[in-house]
Structure 1
Amino acid sequence: MLTLERAAELNGTMVKEEHLIIHAKNVSYAMGAMAEHFGENREHWEAVGLLHDYDYEKYPEEHLQHTKEPLLAAGVDEEDVRAIMSHGWGICTDVKPETNMEKSLFTVDELTGIIQACARMRPNGIQDLEIKSFMKKYKDKKFAAKCNRDLIQQGCDLLGMEVREVAEICIEGMKPHSAEIGLEGTGAEA
């Protein structure tokens, strides 16, 4: 089973850009919260989340085409590699998310982008972000427009959950790590 330490080690060999490191951590903490929701191993799901964009920095136009073989060769379990591959379903892979881990990763990858954008606009960052405020921003298609809401909805449908429910779980999972992911806020009123 993939550990957080091993995921960080592998990710560190490929991912150097700060914004991609932050994104990986956002997804990792959201995945940890989803694991708890489903009664699964938090660290394991966080590790998979941390490693999900392993090849993106070096191969953005060929995302996930340089992931499977290197990770398998590095000793990452086949089921964990499959979960990572599945987050590109319908975009750059044909690996359909089947397990709760895979469906969660597919969903939270885009969702955490909107959470991050929303939290960055607030004086207290993510620390006092409530679901009502998030949903208002989420419904505004011009806000964090690059985050694909159709994919998020598709993922939530796969999970049999509402966007609001998944977002609330992810926000709560990210809050304890606000300083590390740059979402502690400025403390100043906007």
Structure 2
Amino acid sequence: MELWINYLQAQSLVDKYITEPYTRLHLRESEVIMRWLARHFWENEEQWWIIGFLHDLDWDITKGSDQTNHCVLVQSLLRDAGGTDFLIDTIASHWYDNESIPELRDKKRTTRIEYSLAAAETLTWLIFATALMQPEKKLENVKFESLKSKFKNKWFASRCDRNIILECEKAGIGIDEFLQIWLSSMKEIAWELWL
């Protein structure tokens, strides 16, 4: 499957539409974990990391009062940039089954890349919160056991949907291995994340 958007074009789109530093960090985290997952599954790394990098391209525009357009607006932004249906549909899929968005409410994820994207981008919030709970507030000090414990505690980072994270299993990877891959990938870029 083709994307018809390369990394330089993706960077240009992010520069155009993303202004919030935390959104940029979230996109970077998602890009890196998607690359690691592509390696794990022997998939196309470039496609997977571009999809991770662009998945919230409309977030800074739609957050707040216009959130019902999240993953709806991104479809037109990517189509206008020349993105393929594969790129557009995969990115929109991370918000499928969302009751507040009529266009996406009845859609379901069905492919490995869709499950991986949804699980990976959702986990960014849990791992960030776990790092901030460390005495030094450093990602390098987060141990797998701590992350697993926080994952099991539904009250910790309660807005981080564990059911979506567990979709990693539908992609073909167990939750323990997924958490370990995620933790390793984030430690690689911890200095970029200010953690």
| Fold similarity call, TM over 0.5 | yes
Counterparts of 1:99 and 1:130 in 2: how far apart (Å)? Answer: 30
Residue in structure 1 matching 2:130, options 114, 118, 129: 118
* Number of residues of Structure 1 aligned to a counterpart in Structure 2: 182
**Any gaps of 5 or more consecutive residues in structure 1?**
184-190
User: Given the alignment of the two structures, is residue 89 of structure 1 paired with residue 96 of structure 2, yes or no?
Assistant: yes
How far has the Cα of 1:156 moved from its partner? 2.4
Residue in structure 2 matching 1:39, options 39, 42, 57: 42
User: Given the alignment of the two structures, is residue 170 of structure 1 paired with residue 182 of structure 2, yes or no?
Assistant: yes
Aligned residue type for 1:44: Q
Aligned residue type for 2:118: F
Q: Which has the higher contact order (CA 8 A, sep 6+)?
A: 1
How far has the Cα of 1:96 moved from its partner? 2.8
**Any gaps of 5 or more consecutive residues in structure 2?**
none
Runs of 4+ aligned residues of structure 1 deviating over 3 Å after TM superposition are none
SS at match of 1:75: coil
Give the corresponding residue for 2:83: 76
Verify the 8 A CA contact 1:31 1:170 in the aligned structure 2: no
Give the corresponding residue for 1:98: 110
How far has the Cα of 1:75 moved from its partner? 1.2
Counterparts of 1:115 and 1:177 in 2: how far apart (Å)? Answer: 13
Counterparts of 1:64 and 1:73 in 2: how far apart (Å)? Answer: 15
How far has the Cα of 1:65 moved from its partner? 1.5
Verify the 8 A CA contact 1:33 1:172 in the aligned structure 2: no
SS at match of 1:58: helix
Structure 1 residues 42 and 130 mapped into 2: Cα distance closer, same or farther (>3 Å)?
farther
Report the TM-score when normalising by structure 2.
0.85
Identity %: 29
How far has the Cα of 1:70 moved from its partner? 2.0
How far has the Cα of 1:107 moved from its partner? 0.9
Instruction: Specify which structure has the higher proportion of helix.
Output: 2
Give the corresponding residue for 1:186: none
Verify the 8 A CA contact 1:85 1:95 in the aligned structure 2: no
Counterparts of 1:34 and 1:3 in 2: how far apart (Å)? Answer: 19
Verify the 8 A CA contact 1:4 1:44 in the aligned structure 2: no
- Correspondence 1:3-14 to 2 at 5 A: 3-14=6-17
